[in-house]
Structure 1
Amino acid sequence: MAGLPSLPRVAVLGELDSELPFDSPYIVKPRFGGSSIGIEIVEDRETAEVIVRTSVHMREGAVIEPYIAESSDLSIAIKTWPSVALSAIERPTRGGSSSGLFDYSEKYLSGRGLAGAERELPASLSADTEAEVRRAAEVVAKVLPVRSMHRLDFIERSGEVWVNEINTIPGAMAGYLWVDPHVSYEEIINGMIDEADSWQPKGFSTAGSDGTLLRSSGSIAGKLG
């Protein structure tokens, strides 16, 4: 999308009945949901097929991607008011999780929710890696119709980064990322209110959707003329 680095993925609706176009290991995710719930790392297609068929989290479908071993997560917050601004970049600490993922317990069971999870903030990154994360975040802010504040997540390995997903409110306030530049929660909330007050709702017309315009044109020649 828009020249952004991202991993290939396959959407599965029902049975996994074809070969996957990338090598194992795989990461299997529920089509809907979040917070790392139901995500599995598997070594082969057969195991992925069983999980897609039997997991309660995959009843509405699944998404399969290549699993990037020895990688880490990076996140950055984006706010759009009064102009686009980017927070510091964090590297969440996966700690002792045996799943190989930044999982639910590490995210939310530390006592203060995601804001209390272990992290390196700001993350220690090479100048090139930080520049690529910020470039991608600026592109996302331009091409996606999002407002207010959101968190953009990346996967990183040896300086190479891939855009993973965007988390909008209420999925992620990401206020804890605003340490450099520093933005207080009060400023964040006030900015969100100001942006909402200034927002001009877009109007859409359904005129002609009942076929009136097509019928009145008479023929193809009339439509083109």
Structure 2
Amino acid sequence: MTKLRVGLLFGGRSGEHEVSISSARAIAKALSADTNASKYDILPFYIQKDGFWQAGEIAQQVLDSGAVYQSSVTSPNLWQFPPQTQEVDLWFPILHGPNGEDGTIQGLLSLMQVPFVGSGVLGSATGMDKIGMKIAFAQAGLPQVKYKAVTRAQIWSNPCVFPKLCDEIEAELGYPSFVKPANLGSSVGIAKVRSRQELEAALDNAASYDRRIIVEAGVVAREVECAVLGNDQPQASVIGEITYNSDFYDYETKYTQGLADLLIPAVLPEAIASQIQDMALKAFAAVDAAGLSRVDFFYVEATGEVLINEINTLPGFTATSMYPQLWAHSGISFPELVDKLIQLAIERDATAAGKS
């Protein structure tokens, strides 16, 4: 039987470059395990932080070592792709953050006319943009925390507008609240604010990352997550819970070992767990996701409310990441999960418009 040549695409031009390498290493190990080894050949493709694509020995070197690589070429032609791209039967992109899970690479892979794992352009872009995502959730009738969308122009361009904007945020959302760039992942640029001074500083900082910013009302709640797997008939996993001692689930807490604990399955009333699973599937459909997603929620235990926080269409994929762990506790091992995602990509490609 001819093996399927899987183009494992990792690295990328975002602040989550190192996380992407870790995810790719775990996926490569899974593709080489058990029955997967007889079904798939791995073709590694590493995108440097400057956007230059590497294949062959250099990409394999990064995959083996886990170390970031930067070539000595100062002005690479970003549109000269390695010749090995022509050998790929199916792409497995594991690029987190901007230029990776926001629809940009998905558009490129679509133009290549080769199937790929995960959501397409629409699902990826909507899942990455916190403002667009919340609009889609609202249309689907999913309850959320109160929020306000603002722009960099409101913060920077007119000194007369900024104080009024802060007045509106205080009146509509109060304190504490969270200020977030609309299009960054892994809690980059996010701040929890409790005063006017902190709000002004957080808005200014967030505007340095993105021209669109979202401010959300704080809520006292448990943070729970559900993994989704599938295409048109997706399935929801058991529920997991994140606990931590820091002020909120920031970048350092997420990626520093020992600062956060994952409890799987979360100790929840059965009706609440079922409600979260149902809402996760509705969120998956609302943004037109495909293949995989992790959906994050707030469970307000005092009132019994479940509020959707966000969907992540290309979540962290190391062996210790929440997404694969949720499926492991749902009966699907890491190697099986990787195999299923590849098969889902083939299925989605086969049922795309114009194909039989």
Which TM bucket (shorter chain)?
Answer: 0.7 to 0.9
Normalising by structure 2, what TM-score? 0.50
By how many angstroms is 1:8 displaced? Answer: 2.0
Match of 1:157 among 285, 300, 303: 300
Give the corresponding residue for 1:76. 226
More helix by share: 2
Asked if 1:137 corresponds to 2:280, the answer is yes
| From 305, 312, 317, the counterpart of 1:167 | 312
Q: CA deviation at 1:9?
A: 1.3
Aligned residue identity for 1:181:
S
Is the contact between residue 152 and residue 165 of structure 1 (CA under 8 Å) also seen in structure 2? yes
RMSD between superposed Cα atoms in Å: 2.3
Q: Deviations over 1:32-59 (max 9, x none)?
A: 2111122111123453133212457545
Q: Distance in 2 between matches of 1:82 and 1:12?
A: 34
The corresponding residue for 1:195 is 344
Partner of 2:149: 11
CA gap 1:183/1:117 in 2 versus in 1, 3 angstroms: farther
Aligned-residue identity in percent:
27
Q: Which amino acid aligns with 2:342?
A: I
CA distance in structure 2 between the partners assigned to 1:81 and 1:190 by the alignment: 14
Q: Which AA in structure 1 matches 2:341?
A: M
DSSP-derived class of the 1:197 partner: helix
**Residues 182, 54 of structure 1: alpha-carbon distance in 2 compared, 3 angstrom cutoff:** closer
Choose which of 225, 230, 235 in structure 2 pairs with 1:85.
235
Pick the aligned partner of 2:261 from 101, 118, 124. Answer: 118
Match of 2:328 in 1: 179
Map residues 203-214 of structure 1 onto 2, 5 A cutoff: none
Q: Supply the distance in 2 between the matched residues of 1:180 and 1:57 (Cα, whole angstroms).
A: 40
Classify 1:83/1:187 alpha carbon distance in 2 versus 1 (closer, same or farther; 3 Å).
farther
Q: Quick one: distance in 2 between partners of 1:81 and 1:183? A: 17
1:106 aligns with 253
Moved over 6 A (4+): none
Q: Which residue of 2 aligns with 1:209?
A: none
> Within 1, Cα distance between the matches of 2:203 and 2:227?
32
Residue ranges of structure 1 left out of the alignment (5+ in a row)? 204-225
Q: Aligned to 2:339, what secondary structure does the other structure show?
A: helix
Give the equivalent residue in structure 2 for 1:211: none
Q: Is contact 1:79–1:148 with CA below 8 Å preserved after alignment?
A: yes
The partner residue of 2:200 within 49, 74, 80 is 49
Moved more, 128-137 or 80-89: 80-89
CA distance change for structure 1 residues 57 and 182 in 2, over 3 Å: closer, same or farther? farther
State the AA in 2 paired with 1:177.
Answer: L
For the 8 Å contact 2:181–2:206, the answer to whether it is kept is no
- TM-score, normalization by structure 1: 0.77
Change (3 A) 1:102 1:149: same
Tell me which amino acid in the other structure corresponds to 2:211: E
**Number of equivalenced pairs:** 194
Once the two structures are TM-superposed, the CA of residue 202 in structure 1 deviates from its matched residue by 3.5
**Higher Rg of the two aligned structures:** 1
**Contact 1:81-1:191 within 8 A present in 2 as well:** no
Q: Kindly state the Cα deviation for residue 167 of structure 1 after the two structures are TM-superposed.
A: 0.6
